């Protein structure tokens, strides 16, 4: 592709450049499919398992269904504060390091790798743009690390992989302790007061499920590493194995052992530790997880960019958590219906996250090589695919949900409210899909600062709409506010690339 007229109008380039090739299985299309399809299946496997959990729990009663809905919303809020910064930066950093490692091994013989070379500094300057002191320091550490590698060692030397596991493990234990100790006051904050029938089952579920937090964060950190290698099949196999275990154990613990919501939480925890063990076993076969020197671990780089994504994630997830809290304050019927609609909303939207993962991994490698042609074409293709996927999901859910609501509950009032939420769940799918893909695209460009600042602005406006509309329009108001929130979120991603600013300046040349 040549650098000419369409590049001068990024707004047009994004959605219309070579749109007829959106489904073409050329080299780029094949690579996107190879990464995106397993990633999408892995990402949706857990929400689907949660939907099955929801269906089982719904057979116990609407109070238990609503209670678990509040607990899941709270658990997800706290988890995502750690998960998304960790996974987001891990995928980008591992993809960059893996690209650099392959380039060095392709262009230097064994003696140069063992003893170092004057050309190594020039090679890395080409591969990694030196835009600030932190990046220059990171590059120097990488040079030292690569010079120390022995050729006989067959495992990859990826410092970010070791850093991600250490950080993930520490954060997991902190999260578990926090949720177990603070379960009751947190649930009170979510609207479950001491006289609420939902408080006790919600507290039981939250405390037990929190025991799986270390496994959740470790497994997702390892998934970030595999995504950086453009390997999304391994996380898929591990996730499916864990979720099948969860689905099998659910009815055994819930109904056979008569443990109710406690059984649902225990089966989920067991499945998460199984996923973690499978991923660790596979990862240690490919990567040397014990570095020869701790100075090679890029903790500072993780913390700097992780903090930016932490700010972003708090803003993003707080809106959904606040919406769940508003629904809980309306009563168990509203919360039960909201829980079903939200789980479906998130599960289907996450299909687009597979495209986001593919876009992030390919773009991180392209930017490491300064291959802006590849970056531009990749952006256009994944966004076009995201829009098509969103339109398909909208049609599918708009029809299918009217017939599937009874799978989750037989309560007439809850089913009625689910039918009220269906138009919002279905109609927002194209916007949701684009929002997720824009996230992956900007992460692939390491545009973490803009992602954080823009999302804080979006959250502020969305929270105002949520508070006003929920008080004036009740259950419908909550979904109107969530629709506005997703539209603003997609617009924020579109604005950065569409105007050709930040790392996307090359689109306007």
User: Would you list the domain boundaries of the chain?
Assistant: 5-508
3 state SS of 287: strand
What's the pLDDT score for residue 201?
A: 93
What's the pLDDT score for residue 259?
A: 93
The angle that helices 332-349 and 372-404 make with each other, rounded to 10 degrees, is 140
pLDDT in tens, 251-275: 999 999 999 999 999 999 999 999 9
Q: What is the 3-state secondary structure (H, E, C) of 323-341?
A: HHHHHHHHCHHHHHHHHHH
Low-confidence ranges of the chain (pLDDT < 70): 1-16, 19, 44, 46-48, 51, 84, 104-154, 292-296, 508-509
Contact between residue 136 and residue 78 where contact means Cβ atoms under 8 Å apart: no
What's the pLDDT score for residue 422?
A: 86
What is the four-CA torsion angle of 85, 166, 283, 176, rounded to 10 degrees? -70
Q: Which two tokens stand for residue 468?
A: 């006003």
Name the strand (E) or helix (H) holding 251: helix 233-251
3 state SS of 108: coil
What's the pLDDT score for residue 130?
A: 43
What's the pLDDT score for residue 292?
A: 66
Of 16, 27, 42, the residue nearest 357 (C-alpha): 42
Contact between residue 308 and residue 448 where contact means Cβ atoms under 8 Å apart: yes
Contacts of 463 (CB under 8 A, 6+ apart): 318, 319, 322
pLDDT in tens, 141-162: 554 554 444 444 467 888 888 8
pLDDT in tens, 359-369: 989 998 888 88
What's the pLDDT score for residue 126?
A: 38
What's the pLDDT score for residue 508?
A: 62
What's the pLDDT score for residue 152?
A: 41
Q: Which two tokens stand for residue 12?
A: 């047009």
What's the pLDDT score for residue 208?
A: 95
What's the pLDDT score for residue 175?
A: 93
């Amino acid at each position: 592709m040549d650098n000419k007229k369409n590049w001068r109008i990024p707004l047009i380039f994004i959605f219309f450049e070579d749109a007829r090739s959106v489904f073409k299985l050329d080299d780029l299309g094949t690579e996107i499919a190879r990464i995106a399809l397993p990633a999408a299946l892995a990402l949706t496997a857990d929400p689907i398992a949660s939907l099955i959990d929801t269906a089982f729990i719904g057979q116990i009663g609407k109070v238990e269904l609503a209670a678990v809905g509040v607990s899941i919303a709270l658990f997800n809020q706290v988890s995502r504060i750690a998960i998304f910064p960790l996974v987001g930066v891990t995928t980008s950093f591992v993809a960059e390091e893996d690209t650099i490692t392959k380039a060095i091994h392709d262009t230097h013989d064994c003696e140069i790798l063992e003893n170092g070379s004057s050309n190594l500094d020039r090679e890395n300057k080409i591969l990694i743009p030196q835009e600030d002191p932190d990046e220059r320091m990171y590059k120097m550490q990488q040079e030292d690390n690569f010079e120390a590698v022995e050729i006989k060692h067959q495992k990859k030397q990826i410092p970010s992989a070791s850093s991600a596991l250490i950080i993930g493990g520490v954060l997991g234990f902190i999260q578990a302790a926090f949720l177990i100790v603070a379960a009751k006051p947190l649930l009170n904050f979510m609207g479950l007061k001491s006289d609420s029938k939902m408080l006790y089952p919600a507290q039981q579920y939250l405390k037990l499920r929190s025991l799986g937090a270390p496994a959740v964060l470790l497994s997702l950190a390892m998934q970030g590493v595999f995504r950086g290698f453009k390997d999304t099949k391994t996380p898929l196999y591990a996730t499916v194995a864990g979720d099948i275990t969860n689905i099998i154990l659910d009815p055994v613990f819930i109904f056979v052992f008569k443990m109710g919501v406690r059984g649902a939480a225990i089966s989920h925890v067991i499945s998460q530790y199984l996923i973690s063990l499978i991923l660790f076993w596979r990862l240690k076969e490919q990567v040397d997880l014990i570095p020869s020197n701790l100075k090679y671990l890029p903790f500072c780089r993780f913390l700097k960019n992780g903090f930016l994504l932490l700010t972003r994630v708090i803003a993003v997830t707080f809106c959904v958590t606040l919406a769940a809290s508003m629904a809980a304050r309306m009563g168990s019927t509203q919360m039960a219906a909201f829980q079903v609609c939200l789980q479906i909303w998130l599960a289907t939207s996450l299909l687009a996250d597979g495209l986001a993962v593919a876009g992030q991994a390919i773009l991180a490698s392209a930017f490491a090589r300064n291959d802006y042609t590849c970056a531009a074409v990749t952006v256009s293709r994944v966004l076009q695919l995201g829009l098509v996927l969103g339109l398909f999901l909208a049609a599918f859910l708009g029809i299918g949900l009217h017939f599937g609501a009874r799978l989750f509950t037989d309560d007439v009032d809850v089913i009625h409210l689910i039918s009220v939420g269906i138009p919002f769940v279905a109609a927002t799918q194209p916007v949701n899909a684009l929002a997720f893909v824009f996230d992956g695209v900007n992460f692939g460009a390491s545009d973490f600062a803009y992602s954080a600042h823009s999302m804080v602005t979006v959250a502020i406006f969305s929270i105002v709409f949520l508070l006003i509309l929920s008080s004036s329009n009740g259950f419908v108001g909550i979904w109107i506010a969530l629709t506005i929130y997703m539209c603003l979120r997609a617009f924020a991603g579109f604005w950065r690339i569409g105007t050709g600013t930040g790392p996307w300046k090359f689109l306007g040349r």
